Structure 1
Amino acid sequence: MSRRRQAVRRPMAEDPKYHSVLVTRLINTVMKWGKKSTAQRIVYGAFDQIVAKNPQINPLEVLQRAVDNAKPRIETKARRVGGATYQVPLEVPPDRQISLAMRWMVDFADARKGIAMREALAAEIMDAYQGQGNAIRKRDEVHRMAQANKAFAHFRW
């Protein structure tokens, strides 16, 4: 933990196509090696596939609900107390909830081998939107871990 002052958070710009900060965060999560145009092509292609499968739904609402479904409410954090390390359950800050949900969706989409990333991302977003899939399973696993360690909740500070 740094003892210097905390970094100032800059406001994130909206993406050019959907004018949404959430889509910008998804693009930045997908982006590797600074290739933002490639990440935009992947995300917009995934949205196009979502619309192609269900023409009556809005991809922004699908993404918002998918992220809301995959957000963890509590997680465990390792704390050393008297030589022992305890997994202490803590509430997750709202910004980290969104970051974790998006990271899980992108990572599990990337892990789907044999299909294009835009198809895998579209499938992962739709799975999370419907309350199933790997990101939801990961969230449940994090919640179970926190529930199992609630006896150490008094160590949080």
Structure 2
Amino acid sequence: MGRITASRKQMKPDPIYGSLLASKFINCLMHDGKKSTAQRVFYDALDLVKERLPDVEPIEVFTQALENVKPAIEVRSKRVGGAAYQVPMQVNRTRQQSLAIRWVLMAIRDKKGRPTHMKLADELVQAYNREGTAMTRRENVHRMADANKAFAHFAW
């Protein structure tokens, strides 16, 4: 399938919250190998989250936000007798996580004109409340899968 990297085995928890998920997220956020910049953006975002939701741990908000964005099913193209069907399939755990991270990052990169940490904080709070761009994305994926339930028997 895709390229296989050993990143999961080598990953160290992030320095402040000791969370592997946060570490993974920072790595995906990172651009041009600038990890310290990515970390600064991430922690600034979590500080903003803390201001908005003072009664919840910011890392909790982050984890829950990603949980909310994770898709349970998605459609995959399957060729059957010359026709390509969109077949709904279960999404495995690792892919759920990487899709969730990718969607959150896409959501904040699409919004222009504000510092990234602000956009990230917004998106996390929104996802935590089950709204926002990344959530919309997940809804659409689920809707697609639902609409193509008829082809579920092609999933093998």
- What's the Cα RMSD here? 1.6
Does residue 77 of structure 2 align to residue 42 of structure 1? no
TM-score, normalisation: structure 2: 0.92
Partner of 1:97: 96
Partner of 2:76: 77
Matched ranges for 1:120-135 at <5 A:
120-135=119-134
Distance (whole Å) between structure 2 residues aligned to residue 117 and residue 7 of structure 1: 27
Partner of 1:148: 147
Partner of 1:10: 9
1:7, distance to aligned residue in structure 2 (A): 6.6
Distance (whole Å) between structure 1 residues aligned to residue 29 and residue 5 of structure 2: 24
1:48, distance to aligned residue in structure 2 (A): 1.1
Structure 2: stretches of 5+ with no match in the other structure: none
SS across alignment from 1:78:
strand
Cα gap change, 1:87/1:64 in structure 2, threshold over 3 Å: closer, same or farther? same
Range that drifts further, 10-19 or 137-146? 10-19
Does residue 38 of structure 2 align to residue 33 of structure 1? no
Distance (whole Å) between structure 2 residues aligned to residue 148 and residue 54 of structure 1: 36
Structure 1: stretches of 5+ with no match in the other structure: none
TM-score, normalisation: structure 1: 0.91
- Encode CA deviations 1:128-151: one digit per residue, 9 max, x unaligned: 001111111110100000011111
- Encode CA deviations 1:53-91: one digit per residue, 9 max, x unaligned: 333320111011101111100000011111111111000
Number of aligned positions between the proteins: 154
